Amino acid sequence: MTTATRESLADAELSGLQKALILVTVSTCTMLYALTATIINVALPQLQGALSATPDQIAWVVTLNVVATAVVTPMTGWLVATLGQRWVMLGSVAGFAITSLFCATALTLESLLVWRVGQGIFGAPIVPLSQAILLAAYPGRDRAMAQGLFGMAVVIGPAVAPALGGYLAEAYDWRWIFYLIIPFCVAAFFLTLVFVREGGRDPAARLDWTGFLTLSVAIICLQLMVDRGERLGWMESGEFVVYACAAALSFYLFITHTATARAPFLDPTLFTDRNYVLGLVLVFIYGMLNFTPITLLPPLLQALKGYPDSLIGMLLGMRGIGMAIGFFLASRMGGIDPRLSLGIGIVLTGTSGAMMATFEFNVPPSQIAIAGVIQGIGSGMMWVPLTIVTFATLAPSRLPEGASIFHLLRNFGSSIFISVSFMAVVRTAKISYAGLVEQLTPFNEMLRFPFVTGAWTLEDVVGLTRLSSEADRQALMVGYENAFVLYTAVCFATLPLLLLVRVKRD
């Protein structure tokens, strides 16, 4: 990031009103991406039926959007240096609005995926640029308060969106969840037009295209490996081997080029800051934990429990309410050791995962809502101290580029772990189904008693069909439970990393 950009992003003499207006503007802009990330999950089951897709195919609606965001996010610094921070934000918001409109009018899964990629591309610069502007406007002790208010403002939309999106999808159809985004885009565009200052251009700035392209290919190939590995048969498939070789080669070229280039795509000296590197590890894990439950729960609740979209939306909205509480608590704890808030947040998030891993077919909606609130509180309490810890020892001049890498890893963590979780569902469901059907034989004494089996019988085709369907249903539930067990294990395994965090003393 150039000197001109740094100075434009770090005006130290802002008045209280100017800071507040900047906070409102960047919160509204960032809310667009957060809104899309949560609202789409409500309609995944309806999208699956409307577009004749399988569960792992419909998951691409989420994962391809996140991958596109992850690929473009590191370009934020170069885009600001080339176009200026104001035009980057205006162009991103306008492009996001247009691609959202095309998502609403898509007729096939393929066209929807294309426009979801467009949403990811235009939405990518919004979050890191907003955070860089906010970090520069609120230095020192005010940073925790600003991040807390920023977080609460950002989750207001995602908290309401699932309930409203679920109602619209049920009353009309899934297209209205994208139409709902357009008014927010208009509001964000005009706020940016008025309150975001021009600046940040540097004609001398150059993009390291070799670094950008090799990193992008590595990310995309790794995502394809995880997404398609289960269906292709992993190393037994030539296609999978091609993805693996391309990912390894691209990553090798990226590392060697970064180590030898004069002006690499990612500045390697950033990784000499211990807190920053540890923060990148933690934010990668945070990305893994943040969006996975709201991606897994909608298909589980509709396919296995028959919940309508409106109820699924309300239950997902509970997580947003929890996040608002978590952000508030974290902002109030800004004066104490951030490791404490991080630890509490991780424990709460892991506890919610353990609760979800025990869900059964008769789980009441209240228990699902409680788990969502706990998970939201944990995520909210993790975010503010995580941001403070990551950027505490980083020079102000390096905030924009540092924020880009920070959000790159957050998005990449989300996309990878969502794919891994669906892979766990599918793989363990197959294993469970194979174990269950082994017991469905005429030699099983329990199946000889009609008062035990009811409509599940081996005597006719209808009974066999019902028995097979029930075995499939039970196996799929086991698959989802195993995915939440994996989620819980990853969460609690993060706790020892907090011992490595250094706290900056004033």
Question: How much of the chain is in helix, strand and coil states, percent to nearest 5?
Answer: 80, 0, 20
Q: What is the mean pLDDT of residues 131-148?
A: 71
Q: Which helix (H) or strand (E) holds 363?
A: none
Query: Which residue is listed with tokens 């021009």?
Result: 198
Q: What is the pLDDT of residue 487?
A: 95
Total Cβ atoms within 10 A of residue 181: 25
- Record the tokens describing residue 429, joined without a space: 């469901």
- Higher pLDDT residue, 502 or 293? 293
Residues constituting the chain: 506
pLDDT digits (tens, 9 = 90+) for 147-194: 667 766 665 666 667 777 777 777 788 888 888 888 889 988 998 888
Q: How far is CA 226 from CA 30, 212, 240, 244, in A?
A: 28, 22, 9, 10
Q: Which helix (H) or strand (E) holds 108?
A: none
Helix, strand, or coil (residue 281) = helix
Q: What is the pLDDT of residue 9?
A: 43
Q: What is the pLDDT of residue 98?
A: 95
The pLDDT confidence band at residue 70, using thresholds 50, 70 and 90, is confident
Q: What is the pLDDT of residue 363?
A: 85
Weakest mean pLDDT among 107-111, 151-155, 296-300, 351-355: 151-155
Q: What is the pLDDT of residue 8?
A: 44
Distance of alpha carbon 429 from the chain centroid: 24
Q: What is the pLDDT of residue 10?
A: 43
pLDDT > 60? residue 506: no
Mean of all residue pLDDT scores within the chain: 81
- Record the tokens describing residue 208, joined without a space: 């390291």
**Dihedral Cα 466, 472, 476, 478, nearest 10 deg:** 90
Q: What is the pLDDT of residue 56?
A: 67
pLDDT > 50? residue 2: no
pLDDT > 70? residue 300: yes
Do 162 and 44 contact (CB within 8 A), yes or no? no
pLDDT digits (tens, 9 = 90+) for 214-239: 988 998 888 788 877 777 777 888 88
Weakest mean pLDDT among 32-41, 44-53, 375-384: 32-41
- Record the tokens describing residue 405, joined without a space: 């890498």
pTM: 0.77
Q: What is the mean pLDDT of residues 286-306?
A: 83
pLDDT > 60? residue 94: yes
Percent of the chain having pLDDT more than 90? 19
Q: What is the pLDDT of residue 454?
A: 59
Q: What is the pLDDT of residue 450?
A: 62
Please tell me which of 12-16, 137-141, 429-433, 462-466 the model is most confident about, judged by mean pLDDT: 429-433
Q: What is the mean pLDDT of residues 104-114?
A: 90
Class of the CATH-defined domain 3-207+265-429+478-500: mainly alpha
The pLDDT confidence band at residue 461, using thresholds 50, 70 and 90, is low
pLDDT > 90? residue 482: yes
Integer Cα distance of 383 and 296 in angstroms:
22
Q: What is the pLDDT of residue 374?
A: 94
pLDDT digits (tens, 9 = 90+) for 346-387: 999 999 999 999 988 888 889 999 999 999 999 888 888 888
Integer Cα distance of 76 and 80 in angstroms:
6
Integer Cα distance of 199 and 86 in angstroms:
7
Q: Domain extents for the chain?
A: 3-207+265-429+478-500, 208-264
Integer Cα distance of 204 and 112 in angstroms:
38
Q: What is the pLDDT of residue 498?
A: 86
pLDDT digits (tens, 9 = 90+) for 394-438: 776 677 678 778 878 887 888 788 888 988 998 899 898 888 877
Integer Cα distance of 450 and 66 in angstroms:
51
Query: Which residue is listed with tokens 């195993």?
Result: 482
Q: What is the pLDDT of residue 292?
A: 85
